[in-house]
Amino acid sequence: MSDAPPGTVRPAHRKKHRRRISRPLKVTPLLGQGNYVFPVVGSAGYGDSYGAFRGDVHGKWHHGDDIFAALGAPVVAVANGTINRVGWHKRGGWRLWVRDAAANQFYYAHLSGYAPRVFHTRHVRAGDVLGFVGNTGDAIASPPHLHFEVHPHQLLRLRYDGAVNPTTYLNSWPHMRSVHAPFPVHPQLPTHARFRREARQVFRRLLLARHLIEQPAPPIEQPEVDRPARRGAPSTTRLASREEPAMPMVNAGSATPTVPLLAGLLVLTIFVAAPLLAAMVLGRILRNSVSEAS
């Protein structure tokens, strides 16, 4: 990452023939402080990738372990201490350092966002939320993970190459299964256009993963209009909208007034037939009366 731990001493000058060759270290000294916790909350997976080849970093080797977890998983302080160097790094993306009371340094990289507390106080306690798992920086094409490094105070003189294999420590630190996570924030976006765009995209995915914003609904499928097919052109299928079924269309000029005509004929029949029926009934009554009188 070429992001040397704070507090290291830079030599005034170096002689090229005495320049130390950068190699992974084979020691894991005691850190001198208890009550450490695993840096990622909830389900996470990691392997011993310390020392693996990395062509784009200082020394060409991996200075830590990658802890894979869901994007947005909370990242916490591994120990009581102070935080520093919060912000963007071209390889580490959103990153920060934690320094414990014994002067050991812990490096967190590729975050998707931060907890607000890191911008309001330097002091943290083990288990305090610092940020959220992401893939910013040179991890933009990788699955979300936390790049985590351990720099024991005894080896800070080696600057960035003083990182030791974190696997042994991670194996022994207890996991936190859940934590109250605050609303994510980020500082000023990087000035480089590509980094700025990537940081914004990852932060939006973080908000979606934490269910703090909703995914915009896809546009409603509109019906296609039948057009005369051109010779050689592929045929199109008329589709109706799924939200609102298509309504049948009626041409007013060709509509037949069937219902009004039938209603008029019915009324006319009633008015004509009613007097005839009444006359027939009255004639029958009169004939019956005459017959009875005679």
- How does DSSP assign 195-242, residue by residue? HHHHHHHHHHHHHHHTTSS-PPPPPPPPPPPP-PPPTTPPP------S
- What was the pLDDT predicted at 256? 44
CATH of 30-209, one of 3.40.50.300, 2.70.70.10, 1.10.3470.10, 2.70.98.90: 2.70.70.10
Size (the chain), residues? 294
CA angle 180, 138, 89 (to 5 degrees): 70
The answer to whether the CB of 53 falls within 8 A of the CB of 61 is yes
State pLDDT tens for residues 232-270. 444 333 333 333 333 333 333 444 444 455 556 666 666
Determine contact, residues 75/39, Cβ cutoff 8 Å: yes
User: In whole angstroms, what is the distance from residue 2 CA to residue 159 CA?
Assistant: 9
Q: Which residue has the tokens 């009324």?
A: 267
Prediction pTM value:
0.70
List the alpha helices (DSSP H) in 70-141.
Answer: none
Host H or E run for residue 111? strand 105-114
The single-letter DSSP state of residue 153 is G
Residue 264: the pLDDT is 62
Cα angle 66, 72, 76 (rounded to 5 degrees) comes to: 65
> What is the tens place of the pLDDT at every residue in 142-193?
999 999 999 999 999 999 999 999 999 999 999 999 999 999 999 999 999 9
Residue ranges per domain, the chain?
Answer: 30-209
CA 274 to chain centre: 79
Residue 253's pLDDT is 41
Q: Report yes or no: 122 and 84 within 8 Å, Cβ to Cβ.
A: yes
Q: Which helix (H) or strand (E) holds 264?
A: helix 258-293
DSSP reduced 3-state for 18 = helix
Higher pLDDT, residue 41 or 284: 41
Cα 275 to Cα 280: distance, rounded to the nearest angstrom: 9
By three-state DSSP, how is residue 185 classified? strand
Coil, helix or strand for 134? strand
